[in-house]
A and B are shown apart, each in its own frame.
Chain A
Amino acid sequence: KNQVEQSPQSLIILEGKNCTLQCNYTVSPFSNLRWYKQDTGRGPVSLTIMTFSENTKSNGRYTATLDADTKQSSLHITASQLSDSASYICVVSASGGSYIPTFGRGTSLIVHP
């Protein structure tokens, strides 16, 4: 069964600090992995996509990594800002005709001033 596990479930950090969110998956055959950001009361928005051949990708202060061998991904946030407070969701898609991606439960990040 395809599964995506995220850790930690929640995280509280001070503004300006860095943090790393983890995602482990068992989706097969692997196609791509996306990190979405969901602000409170809004729909999720894609931050980055990782494909099999990519190890790291940055989007501003967000850097995602992928280890396809261990089936792990991380999202690193540098110099956190209050606006980074949100839920971060790891979503993994399979190849071969299945168009229903597997969602993790998300990590709730709170950035305090």
Chain B
Amino acid sequence: GAGVSQSPSNKVTEKGKDVELRCDPISGHTALYWYRQSLGQGLEFLIYFQGNSAPDKSGLPSDRFSAERTGGSVSTLTIQRTQQEDSAVYLCASSLNPAGRTGELFFGEGSRLTVL
């Protein structure tokens, strides 16, 4: 596609349920990032994938959060046993990341998660 695609755009769930958020990056982009943005706040880094390398999970807030990237393309962010404080917009970004430097991040429109 022309840009980063995320789904669903909106998700309302009950506390304790599991949710999956999907990100389809720009074709050819080897790097993929997940961020969380709570209402009125800045972007919080969650996880980073680069090619076939092991992901950098240093930003995941708890073991309820996990993510995978299949075939170096589509990524899924899973939140287990959701809590109300998980309510936020989850943004995905992809980048070319030429060797030695971080390239421009291209963001999707985000998935807005509301936990009741």
Which A residues lie at the B interface, using CB under 8 A? 31-32, 34, 36, 41-46, 49, 89, 91, 93-101, 103-106
A108 to B, closest residue via Cβ: B40
Q: Is the interface of B mostly helix, strand, loop or mixed?
A: loop
**Once bound together, how far apart are the Cα atoms of A42 and B43, in whole Å?**
13
From B42, B56, B58, A104 is in contact (CB under 8 Å) with B42
Q: Which of B14-22, B78-86, B101-109 contacts A (4 or more CB under 8 A)?
A: B101-109
Which B residues lie at the A interface, using CB under 8 A? 4, 31, 33, 41-43, 45, 48, 50, 56, 58, 91, 93, 95, 97, 100-102, 104-105, 107-110
A99-B107 contact, Cβ under 8 Å, with A31-B101, A89-B43: no
B59 to A, closest residue via Cβ: A100
A95-B100 contact, Cβ under 8 Å, with A43-B91, A100-B48, A105-B41: yes
Q: Is the CB of B104 within 8 A of A43?
A: no
Residues of A close to B95: CB separation below 8 A: 99
Q: Is the CB of A103 within 8 A of B45?
A: yes
Q: In the complex, how many angstroms separate the beta carbon of B37 from the nearest chain A beta carbon?
A: 9
**Once bound together, how far apart are the Cα atoms of A100 and B101, in whole Å?**
10
